[in-house]
Structure formats: structure tokens, C-alpha cells
Amino acid sequence: MGTQLITHRWRKETGPRVEGSRPLDSAKVQAPCIVRVPSGGFRLFYTAVGPAKPYPACQGYILSAVSDDGLVFRKEPGIRLAPQPSLHHVSLRVLAPTITQCDDGRWRMYFEARGPADSPTVICSASSSDMLLWELDDGIRLQRPGGVGGPRYLPLANGGGRLYCCGTELGGSGERVSKGVISAITSDGLRFELEPGYRMRDRQGDYDTSGITAAEVIPPAVDGGRWTMVFSAWQDVPPGTVVPVHPSQDTGALEGGRSEDFAAASIAVDMAGYRSRIFVAQSPDGMVWDRGECAIDGGGHGADGLDAVHAEDMSVINIADGTYRMYYAACDRYGNWRVASAITDPV
């Protein structure tokens, strides 16, 4: 059950679950979210971008694929959710979905929304009756001065839910000084109240010198059990490395007639000496956490494997009693991003 995740080794499964193969996702595939379909099987939502993007400045949208067994996925046509050019805070990119079913049977998706580079990222939401057609909810669910992203929603046993996400803390000159896990509580799924402090601070070791990107929490199976957090952290580039400006942070990237290839530019940053890994931590209460242990680690920039350079932004599902499968964004030594998976051994 949930309390066993940290004590069991994750075994990587062969091959990608989803990779770029069509004009909608051929440039980059990231940030999966797995959901069990009530009628049977699974639906995998993921962030993507490709030459078929709906407008030139678009930096990414959410697509989906379905599977009977959780291993072989069939891509569904069309875009599940796209950014809205007319809305400043969600005008360029939507990414990192997390989905929950509401009391009325409808579905709600929380996601990171990006506007222009001079605007902080925010968490927004959309609603659907079938997980295929999504309607953007009015307003912003969660925001803070440095920006917030990588949401993961956890329904709580006593009603409502908690949103774990990654909050950026800025220094006096506006520079990013940390990116750790924060949380917010809700009773209705629309209005969230930030909880004080950090659930997990970054920069606790040499493996997370450049911030945490996502954190998913699994509550204990029994009263008094331990909570489990699965999170991904980036390791900074070696000293002296020159890193190009990420296109989402480049205020001039789409100005003055420039035609910026967002996917190519972002992959160049991904490969500029950075690495990311996935870790597992425990907590007695879901609020205060230990440092964690490495669960998924690639071989590095010169190694083979789907996740040689990056393993991040995971989504975890209980596929059987005591057995979990993790879907995660993986990047190989050539800069190819896919969705990979790993599974725990049964208890």
C-alpha cells in the first residue's frame, strides 16, 4: 500500500509508454498524468508541442492516450486543453495536468499555466464530463509572486483536497533563490488557501541544486501510517557552464518578428549540463518530510537509456493491491523526450 512505496525498489519497464509520433507531439513530450477510466483501462494525459500547434506563439498543450493494460497506449485525436491567447495568464502554455473526479461525477483538471515571460506561472483548472472535452474554469486557482507550477492534487479523506505544487522564491533582485514544494487546501476544488511554510525545501543535497519540479503524495493505507512523497529534482550544471536562456524566460523571444522554435530552444537548455532524478520521501503527517531516497536515476549525459539525462514530473497510480506504476517524463542523451514507466514489486 502507500506506506510501502519507499521500501520497495522501482523497476524500470522496457520501452516508452508515449513518444512523439505526429505533428501535435513530434517536437517534445513531457509531464504525464495517469487516470483510471471508470469503464476500464487507463487514460494518460501529457504535455506536448509540435508543428501542428494551434498558433505560432503556442508553447505547449495537453494531449491524451488510452490503454487497456497501462503499457500499450493509443493516442486520441485532437487537443484536450490548449492555452488561450486572449487570456494573459494562460496565453502561451498549459502543462503538467493533475486530474480528480468531483462529487457530481464530473472531472477537474489542475494545470500550470504560462503567459509572457515577465508574468509568474499560475495554477488554473478546467472541467469535463468525459475527460475528452474540457472547458476552462474562470479565474486562477493558485498564485504567488515568484510563480507556482507542477501541481498534484490529493483528495482528502475528510472531504476537499490538498494541492501540492512547486513554488519559486525570489531574491531581492528578482532572481530565483529556491524552488520547493508548497501546498494549498480547498473545500470546494476552486478556492485554495496556501498553507504556511514548505513541505519540501530544495537544495538539501547535490542532487537538487536547481529546484524541485513536481511532487505527488500518497496517503497512508491505515491510520497512523506513514505518508509517501514522490518528487523530481534538478541538479545544476557544472561550474562554468554557459546555459542558454530558456524560451519561457526570454522576454524578447517572440518579439520584433523573431520566430523562436520553442521546443528546440527548451531542449537546448535541458541538455546544457542539467540532470533530473526522481526521489521518494516519507512523512508522519503529510506536512513535514524527510530528505528522501533516489528511486529513478539515469546514467548521465553519455549513457544510453530513455532517462539517461532526465527523469521527472511523475504520475503514480496503484494498479493492484501493493503494486504501483509510475509514469514519468524521460529524456535521453540525444534530447528526445518521452513518457517512460517503472513499477514496484508487489508487497
CATH, residue 292: 2.115.10.20
CA dist., res. 113 & res. 95, Å (int): 7
* Number of residues written out for the chain: 347
Q: Would you state the cell numbers that stand for residue 276, as one nine-digit string?
A: 533530473
Cell 503529510, residue?
Answer: 286
Specify the number of domains making up the chain. Answer: 1
Element (H, E) at 266: helix 262-270
**What domain range is 312 assigned to?**
2-344
Check residue 168 and give its pLDDT.
Answer: 80
Check residue 259 and give its pLDDT.
Answer: 40
> Which residues pair with residue 85 across a beta bridge?
none
Check residue 236 and give its pLDDT.
Answer: 86
Neighbours of 256 (CB within 10 A): 6
Rg for the chain (alpha carbons), in Å? 19
DSSP state of 260: -
Q: Is 56 left (phi over 0), alpha (psi -120 to 50) or beta?
A: alpha
Neighbours of 220 (CB within 10 A): 18
Amino acid at 204: Q
Neighbours of 285 (CB within 10 A): 9
Check residue 246 and give its pLDDT.
Answer: 85
Sign of CA dihedral 332, 209, 168, 313: positive
Question: CB of 30 within 8 A of CB of 19?
Answer: no
**What's the predicted TM-score (pTM) here?**
0.94
pLDDT in tens, the chain (347 residues): 344 555 568 999 999 999 999 999 999 999 999 999 999 999 999 999 999 999 999 999 999 999 999 999 999 999 999 999 999 999 999 999 999 999 999 999 999 999 998 899 999 999 999 999 999 999 999 999 999 999 999 999 888 999 999 988 776 666 566 788 999 999 999 999 999 999 988 876 666 777 899 999 999 888 888 899 999 999 888 888 888 888 888 766 544 334 458 899 999 999 999 999 999 999 998 888 988 889 999 999 999 999 999 999 999 999 987 789 999 999 999 999 999 999 997 65
Q: Would you state the cell numbers that stand for residue 347, as one nine-digit string?
A: 508487497
Neighbours of 345 (CB within 10 A): 12
DSSP state of 60: B
